[in-house]
Amino acid sequence: MSSRHGITVTVNGAQVTREVDARTLLVHFLREDLSLTGTHIGCDTTSCGACTVHLDGVAVKSCTVFAVQADGANVDTVEGLADGATLHPLQEGFWEKHGLQCGYCTPGMLMAAKELLARNPDPTEEEIRFGISGNLCRCTGYNKIVEAIQYAAQKLREAGEEAHA
């Protein structure tokens, strides 16, 4: 009996089909099979959140999802945030508000924040802190990250208002 399985996953809008070992974690599939190294490996125990991606629109820690579980699903990674050379408002916010230092946690933080803002476009500071509580940062102390997410939330609300005007 083979432990290899064929999977088809839509990653950042592009459909890919690969053979994977049944025990391959989604984080390893993204990094090793697809060369999407923005998804970081930090702990392999769901503690740090550096590997956070979206699986069918839900932020998940890809170190605890098998690649075969993503078969047929949509996976969005940090590489899919920008629109060409145009940064996503979250990326812009992290740049403008100095929401990163070493940057290791940043991809997971961005993906957690994106899901938060999709659910709640005008979060309070407390809601932001709770929304990113599954993602650890050892450098910034979180204040600048919160400011970056507030910046992005405002930019996204303004863009939505302009689209409806």
Domain ranges of the chain: 4-80, 89-164
Using CA atoms, how far apart are residues 102 and 100, in angstroms rounded to an integer? 6
Mean pLDDT across the chain, nearest whole number? 95
pLDDT score for 161 = 79
pLDDT score for 46 = 87
CATH T-level topology, domain 4-80: Ubiquitin-like (UB roll) (3.10.20)
The 10 Å CB-count burial string (b at 16+, else e) for 43-80 is eeeeebbbbbbbbeeebbbbbebbbbebeebebbbbbb
Rounded to 5, what percent of the chain is helix, strand, coil? 40, 20, 40
pLDDT at residue 1 above 60? Answer: no
Equal fold, 4-80 vs 89-164: no
pLDDT score for 21 = 97
- Confidence category of residue 162, pLDDT binned at 50, 70, 90: confident
pLDDT score for 160 = 86
The answer to whether the CB of 69 falls within 8 A of the CB of 5 is: no
- Tens digits of residue pLDDT in 59-70: 999 999 999 999
**What's the token pair of residue 147?**
């400011």
**What's the token pair of residue 43?**
């702990």
pLDDT score for 145 = 97
Using CA atoms, how far apart are residues 91 and 95, in angstroms rounded to an integer? 6
- Confidence category of residue 165, pLDDT binned at 50, 70, 90: low
- Tens digits of residue pLDDT in 75-133: 999 999 999 999 999 999 999 999 999 999 999 999 999 999 999 999 999 999 999 99
Q: In the CATH scheme, what is the homologous superfamily, with its name and number, of domain 89-164?
A: [2Fe-2S]-binding domain (1.10.150.120)
Residue with tokens 């125990």: 45
